Amino acid sequence: MKQAKGYAAISQDKALTPFNFERRTPGPNDVVIGIEFCGVCHSDIHQVKNEWGGSRYPMVPGHEIVGKVLEIGSAVKTFKVGDPAGVGCLVDSCGDCVACNQQLEQFCSNGFSGTYNSFEQDKKTPTQGGYSNFIVVKESYCLKISPKLKLSAAAPLLCAGITTYSPLRHWNVSKGHKVGIVGLGGLGHMGVKLAVSMGANVVVITTSESKKEDAKRLGAHDVIVSRNSNELQKHASSFDFILDTVSAEHDLNALLNLLKIDGKMVLVGVPDKPAPVSAFALIGGRRTLAGSLIGGIKETQEMLDYCAEHNITSDVEIIPIQSINEAYQRMIKGDVKYRFVIDMQSLGQL
């Protein structure tokens, strides 16, 4: 076993604190990544606070991991020591089910191994995430990071990037499409950048008048303040595609009414409570309401390469690990543009 250090939640009602733990001894197919930066996802807060249920403690969060390769196993062929590398939301899957055979490991029938708050495929060894100094991962679940991408700004691509890229690609968003991005946070700002790069006419849908200027800075062609019914009505039945990134309670029916005939709305946000959906909002225009998770390893690598080609990264605020509890409080208030990223070198001060 290898000794690691990081920050962990010991229970759902305690602040994150320094934590020493063990990583597995690297095997022939493993890559050891020295973690340089780790993004802070809102799902980290949900799981630390057990808001989705099933949280396991102690928990080292973090699934937006980038750094440099420190060691490789004897059978590793695609990485060498010193290479930039990343780890996203999953670190293993069964490899044998229908989903895994289609390179859709995120839908593994036997349950993928999440990067943290999960178990290895033995279903008994806990996984621990990226708020730590290094991680041991199978080569097949490591991702190549182009040297064109600044590591700190690339970290959130491993979750926020792939969560928005995957549905945009799956539903073939392209030039000429009118695309709505609901919410302008960590996910939403990536949705705007990606949809614009794909040639879409992008409209941000937000409850905040104050976000209009920033939406335009990020590339949005228009902004709807959804508290204004007149603005919603002006865009009724006009969208080809809407990506809903919001994890708070909101009115899905009002958004569905913005879709044209055969329009599609895809949810990637996860509100705590189920939302009511009117059948009339769907059948009135043969509209589709769908959901999307992250992407598989192949698609995540495709997204990273796409972002390197198009010079797309996240807007980030770098923090030391010692500020993580304050960062959580700021995230809850929406006080970040648009992703906190931890400089893991700050762990050296423990």
pLDDT tens readout for residues 336-349: 999 999 999 999 85
Quick one: pLDDT at residue 350? Answer: 46
The CATH architecture annotation of domain 161-291 reads: 3-Layer(aba) Sandwich (3.40)
Check if the beta carbon of residue 54 is closer than 8 Å to that of residue 83: no
pLDDT at 123 over 80: yes
- Six-digit token pair at 293? 């998770």
* Residue 131, CA distances (Å) to 35, 36, 60, 289 in order: 8, 10, 6, 35
Rounded CA separation 3/138 (Å): 18
Quick one: pLDDT at residue 348? Answer: 81
Rounded CA separation 56/126 (Å): 9
Check if the beta carbon of residue 39 is closer than 8 Å to that of residue 336: no
Q: Where are the domains of the chain?
A: 2-159+315-349, 161-291
- Looking at 1.10.760.10, 3.40.190.290, 3.90.180.10, 3.30.70.580, the CATH number of the domain 2-159+315-349 comes to 3.90.180.10
Q: Once rounded to an integer, what is the mean pLDDT over residues 248-272?
A: 95
How does the average pLDDT of the chain come out, rounded? 96
pLDDT at 307 over 50: yes
Assess whether the region 2-159+315-349 and the region 161-291 belong to the same CATH fold.
no
Q: Once rounded to an integer, what is the mean pLDDT over residues 139-150?
A: 97
pLDDT at 318 over 50: yes
- 174-224 pLDDT, tens digit per residue, is 999 999 999 999 999 999 999 999 999 999 999 988 899 999 999 999 999
Contacts of 121 (CB under 8 A, 6+ apart): 92, 93, 94, 110, 113
Write the DSSP assignment of 2-39 as a string of letters: EEEEEEEBSSTTS--EEEEEEEPPP-TTEEEEEEEEEE
